[in-house]
Amino acid sequence: MATIELTKDNFNETLTDNEFVLIDFWASWCGPCRQFAPVFEKASEENPDLVFAKVDTEDQQELAASFDIRSIPTLMVVRDKTVVYAQPGALPKDSLDDLIKQARELDMDEVRKEIEKQQAGDAQS
């Protein structure tokens, strides 16, 4: 599947309709973003069952702000509408491949339980 452009108009629908989405927050003026783009594109070709999406932080400032994106590129992995990874920095191909493999292997029931436990703990403090 080709990489899609995410906007505030299609963001929620994309995350709701797809179980596994990788999002690259980027900007055209950002050197590391331009270096990471072909790595991200290649991974999208090699993983046609996953949705690869890009958010242009210049055009979609509201969307970037809602995720507290402070540095780019930032890669985010969303499974079952849950953010399981979000970190700034351009990844080399091997690291991106490894991240995808690890995200595929996550037991989302366990992830949800852990999030509930953390939220319960936060509510008590």
For the annotated catalytic residues, the residue numbers are 30, 33
For residues 39 and 92, what is the distance between their CA atoms, to the nearest angstrom? Answer: 7
Q: Identify the H or E element spanning 62.
A: helix 61-66
**Three-state SS at 6:** coil
CA angle 52, 106, 122 (to 5 degrees): 100
**Three-state SS at 42:** helix
What number of residues does the chain have?
Answer: 125
